[in-house]
Structure 1
Amino acid sequence: MKNILFLVSTLRNTGPTNQLSYILKYMDKELFKPHILTLSEEPKDSRKNYFEDELKLNIISLRLSRIKGFFKAKAKIRNFIIENNIDLIHSQGLRADSLLSKLNVNTPRISTIRNYPQSDYPMMFGKLLGNFLAVKHISALRNLDNVFGVSDSVSNNLKNEYGLTNIQTVRNGVDISKYKPCIDKIQLKKELSIPLKKTIWISSIGKGSRKDSTIIARAFKKIHEADNSNFLIFVGDGELKIQCQKILEGINNTLFTGNISNISKYLQIANFFISSSKAEGFPNAVLEAMACGLPAILSNIAPHTEIISLNKKSAISFKLGSTQSLVDAMENIVDINSNISTEEAINLIDTQLTADKMSRNYQAVYQELIH
């Protein structure tokens, strides 16, 4: 049995943490023994309890601030590696990747990269700090043995923009035991107090502006003015929520759920999913929606068009930032002659993008790298 160390900053309830949970949930425990080492105190929205109670894993936290981590983290990580006979280290995130890149150990060191550093970090932290962090992250990735992009789009960006040669792709997956079509959609609509006879559109409001949710609000307003048989659900509680509410003021056919734990139920009663994101790696929200049987309308950024390229009957794209282009896409996808279907969305996930397949792909990597 080989010991695999997963190094992360925290187990905050985010997309990357969800993907980590999938790797571990479907890991062959007869071949691998996973260890999780977190660097900082867990936040309020941590999924640590899930990892411990459901996945039966032991979580070790260094509980170091960034200042203490600068002086103590490398030594503590090195000691952990030695004491637990670690055979391979898998990190994710800027802080974990940076520390791992500075460790002088013979153990294979790999990372998963989930974004476009040159655009994502400036969008999140401002131009000056964001560009600095992008350079720092790329420098760390260069010093690791292998880097895995969550999509071909992410991998190609690192190759083309930064000349990285140690990059491969393992696409994100979705847990189809949780995200799956609903057997009785009418009953679930009644349970959630959702109109029974309307066309239901659903999207997520992210924590930052990169989701560009106001485009969806404006497009829905235009659609609603022409036909009030539509209903829009916004899931989440991001910074654009108030702006979207102002745009849709006076329109009753909308629901803002805020942060919820049962998002799969809302996906199951919807007809279509929309993502207007300016930047993604390989979006969990899109995969979750399609696993529930929702054809998708996606902004034409590279990770979205990559999803469409895998099955052109599962989703369509619209021009990033264009309200009219989104309106046109919404009208086209509901057209009776549209070839975009629920069955094709489900088929794409089931055949290519399950969490189990993603985990098995990483396990094959571990076996290849451990001598």
Structure 2
Amino acid sequence: MDKIKIVYLINYIKIGGPVNMIYNLVKNLDTQKFDITVIGISDIPSNKKKDFSDISCKVMELGVTGNVLSREKKVIEIINEISPAIVHSHGGIADNINGKLKKSILKVNTIHCVPNEDFVFKNGKILGNLKSFFYYNNLKKIGTAIACSKTVSDKIKSYKGVAYKYIQNGIDTQEIGITELNTSLKKRLQIKNSDTVFCFCGYLSKRKNVQYIISNFKKISNENYKLLIIGDGDELSRLKELASDDNRVIFVGRVSSPIEYLKISHYFLSASLSEGLPLAVMEGMACGLPAILSKIDSHIELSELPTNSISYFDLSDDMGLRNEIEKTQRNNYEQLSTDAKDFIENYLNAQKMAKKYEQIYLDILN
């Protein structure tokens, strides 16, 4: 039996949520059934790339330049040369190209966010709503659209009246399991064994609301608490200025292996205003970090599955996060840490996610 050719199309093959999701998916697909190519439309610096070299797929970075039409034409030509049965796109530029492919190619996309919210946070109300309009228009041209979470599916239904299937993101727990604890990191970051380390990992944008975390953390006087900020983004300079008078706040920047930093931490913090299904939170939990999360729908979706390792705070409560951090002193940490790892392994692992996508592919082919 010939393998089914499938192309994953994304704008950049860079370290971050959607590409990490593709990596976890591709790594766990049945390579006896699928011949896999991952295409990045645009090149990025090598230190920001996601490494696919250890999994069974072909990777192409096209580095396509020129105007929109010439770029689309080049990508479409390459996809036609590959002649895949399925193209699975991720993100606005990739989805737009996917929608223009010939009818004989089956089209799938993953919706990684709630466009009405995410695009407005990134681009402002006018441009954000305009981009949201075009995004939904592209979805109409793609035969099978899959939301990354129940929350995304439900919110889009409330905005647009269209019900999309959803497959929850999954974490590759095997990769996390083989990443060893890097004790030299603690020494370099001046973290003592007696310290309790809280961390945030992700892109530093207004939507991620890291300012709220830092402002609350600074009001806690415990000198044995440390806060790791892993990642970079538009808000980095402003956040560094906010934290400049508190040496317990440590900015790590964008790193090639966030797992190493998660493994020297104790708790994962997120004050996000909006999410799809937060991979960074799930990666932290897979490393054994109980999660302290803002009370938004996509975070609450996690607690709909059995776990004791997530606690919540209300963003409208100025004391909410501080209260949850201070409660950690009374926790049975080892029990919560084990529960966090078991939660991801049992419910949100990449193998289960891949099986569900495999079934989608086989269903649309038949």
The total of aligned residue pairs comes to: 364
Residue matched to 1:171: 168
- In structure 2, do the counterparts of structure 1 residues 183 and 70 end up closer, same or farther at CA, with 3 Å as the change threshold? closer
Q: How does 1:206-217 map to 2 (within 5 A)?
A: 206-217=203-214
- In structure 2, do the counterparts of structure 1 residues 152 and 190 end up closer, same or farther at CA, with 3 Å as the change threshold? same
2:149 is aligned, of 151, 171, 186, to 151
Separation in structure 1 between the aligned mates of residue 95 and residue 184 of structure 2, nearest angstrom: 46
Q: Report the CA distance between 1:64 and its aligned residue.
A: 2.8
Residue matched to 1:18: 20
The unaligned stretches of length 5 or more in structure 2 are none
- In structure 2, do the counterparts of structure 1 residues 187 and 364 end up closer, same or farther at CA, with 3 Å as the change threshold? same
Residue matched to 1:362: 357
Q: Report the CA distance between 1:40 and its aligned residue.
A: 2.8
- In structure 2, do the counterparts of structure 1 residues 219 and 207 end up closer, same or farther at CA, with 3 Å as the change threshold? closer
Residues 174-220 of structure 1: per-residue CA shift (max 9 Å, x gap): 12123249887878744754211122111136232211111111211
- In structure 2, do the counterparts of structure 1 residues 330 and 109 end up closer, same or farther at CA, with 3 Å as the change threshold? same
What one-letter code is carried by the residue in structure 2 that aligns with 1:231? K
Residue matched to 1:55: 55
Residue matched to 2:220: 223
Q: For structure 1, which segment, 258-267 or 282-291, has the greater mean C-alpha deviation from structure 2 after superposition? A: 258-267
Residues 32-78 of structure 1: per-residue CA shift (max 9 Å, x gap): 10123333344455536x22x322533344433361x424625752x
User: 1:196 aligned to 2:193?
Assistant: yes
2:33 is aligned, of 28, 31, 40, to 31
Q: Is this contact kept in 2: 1:182–1:269, CA < 8 A? A: no
2:88 is aligned, of 87, 90, 97, to 90
Separation in structure 2 between the aligned mates of residue 5 and residue 121 of structure 1, nearest angstrom: 26
Residue matched to 2:288: 293
Residue matched to 2:64: 64
- In structure 2, do the counterparts of structure 1 residues 200 and 299 end up closer, same or farther at CA, with 3 Å as the change threshold? same
Residues 74-126 of structure 1: per-residue CA shift (max 9 Å, x gap): 5752x445543421111111011112223341222110010110111111122
Q: For structure 1, which segment, 313-322 or 109-118, has the greater mean C-alpha deviation from structure 2 after superposition? A: 313-322
Residues 318-351 of structure 1: per-residue CA shift (max 9 Å, x gap): 1125431111121234324799811221111000
Q: Report the CA distance between 1:232 and its aligned residue.
A: 1.6
- In structure 2, do the counterparts of structure 1 residues 10 and 240 end up closer, same or farther at CA, with 3 Å as the change threshold? closer
Q: Is this contact kept in 2: 1:181–1:268, CA < 8 A? A: no
Q: For structure 1, which segment, 113-122 or 313-322, has the greater mean C-alpha deviation from structure 2 after superposition? A: 313-322
Separation in structure 2 between the aligned mates of residue 199 and residue 255 of structure 1, nearest angstrom: 13
Q: For structure 1, which segment, 336-345 or 93-102, has the greater mean C-alpha deviation from structure 2 after superposition? A: 336-345
Identical-residue share of aligned pairs (%): 28
Across the aligned residues of Structure 1 and Structure 2, the Cα RMSD in angstroms comes to: 2.6
What one-letter code is carried by the residue in structure 1 that aligns with 2:138? A
User: 1:278 aligned to 2:276?
Assistant: no
Residue matched to 2:312: 317
Q: For structure 1, which segment, 301-310 or 316-325, has the greater mean C-alpha deviation from structure 2 after superposition? A: 316-325
What one-letter code is carried by the residue in structure 2 that aligns with 1:143? K
SS at match of 1:33: strand
The 4+ residue runs of structure 1 with deviation greater than 6 A are 181-188, 337-340
Residue matched to 1:124: 122
2:228 is aligned, of 233, 252, 256, to 233
Q: Is this contact kept in 2: 1:233–1:257, CA < 8 A? A: yes
Q: Report the CA distance between 1:250 and its aligned residue.
A: 3.7
Separation in structure 2 between the aligned mates of residue 337 and residue 57 of structure 1, nearest angstrom: 43
Q: Is this contact kept in 2: 1:88–1:108, CA < 8 A? A: yes
What one-letter code is carried by the residue in structure 2 that aligns with 1:347? D
Separation in structure 2 between the aligned mates of residue 46 and residue 181 of structure 1, nearest angstrom: 22
Residue matched to 2:250: 255
Q: Report the CA distance between 1:147 and its aligned residue.
A: 0.8
What one-letter code is carried by the residue in structure 2 that aligns with 1:59? V
- In structure 2, do the counterparts of structure 1 residues 111 and 200 end up closer, same or farther at CA, with 3 Å as the change threshold? same
User: 1:353 aligned to 2:348?
Assistant: yes
The unaligned stretches of length 5 or more in structure 1 are none
Residue matched to 1:101: 99
TM-score computed with the length of structure 1 as normaliser: 0.89
Q: Is this contact kept in 1: 2:113–2:276, CA < 8 A? A: yes
Separation in structure 2 between the aligned mates of residue 222 and residue 361 of structure 1, nearest angstrom: 45
SS at match of 1:39: strand
Q: For structure 1, which segment, 178-187 or 264-273, has the greater mean C-alpha deviation from structure 2 after superposition? A: 178-187
Separation in structure 2 between the aligned mates of residue 89 and residue 184 of structure 1, nearest angstrom: 38
- In structure 2, do the counterparts of structure 1 residues 188 and 9 end up closer, same or farther at CA, with 3 Å as the change threshold? closer
Separation in structure 1 between the aligned mates of residue 66 and residue 161 of structure 2, nearest angstrom: 29
Separation in structure 2 between the aligned mates of residue 118 and residue 106 of structure 1, nearest angstrom: 31
Separation in structure 1 between the aligned mates of residue 193 and residue 93 of structure 2, nearest angstrom: 47
Q: Is this contact kept in 2: 1:313–1:340, CA < 8 A? A: no
Q: Is this contact kept in 2: 1:97–1:111, CA < 8 A? A: yes
Residues 144-190 of structure 1: per-residue CA shift (max 9 Å, x gap): 1111111100111122211224x111111112123249887878744
